[in-house]
Amino acid sequence: MGLSGGTADKAGNRYEDWWTALKVADLLRGEASRIRLEPVGQAGEGIEFQLVAKGETWCDQVKDVPSRGPWTLRSAAALLQAVASHLAAGRKVRLVLSTGSPALRDLADRARAAVTLAEFEEILTGPQGNDFTALCGV
């Protein structure tokens, strides 16, 4: 598990900077048409930048906090809540996390495997159903 504080904060900033550099490279290659770093006001709430690629606006939130270990559904839900206005506006949101969220990944894998909401709900275990209900609350 990593350390928290000064060094970890610098590493987190470096992680965010490297991701931003990769997206600027997309812009230079013509794979994206615009990038807005840390937009002001509501446009920048909960995100590091907006990227327009293939006619879609992506809002990227980048986090490097290995000291916390894997993301719990509660902490992932807090991230989703921070970007809820972007989702409501029809923008795509990309959460770029240095450590995964096994519980969220499992729900996403099951959602991709299902054709309908009813089918998805049918393949959830009891705890996963509770997790899904909690995420829907966000």
The span from the CA of 85 to the CA of 46, in Å, is 9
- What confidence tens digit (pLDDT) does each residue in 56-106 have? 999 999 988 777 778 888 888 888 888 999 999 999 999 898 888 888 889
Q: What is the pTM for the complete model shown? A: 0.75
Contact 50, 57 (CB under 8 A): yes
Q: Report whether CATH 3.90.600.10 matches the domain 1-99.
A: no
The span from the CA of 8 to the CA of 14, in Å, is 10
- For residue 11, the model assigns a pLDDT of 54
In this structure, are strands 34-37 and 92-97 parallel, antiparallel, or unpaired?
unpaired
Quote the mean pLDDT of the chain.
Answer: 87
For the chain, the domains span 1-99, 101-138
- For residue 2, the model assigns a pLDDT of 46
Contact 26, 52 (CB under 8 A): no
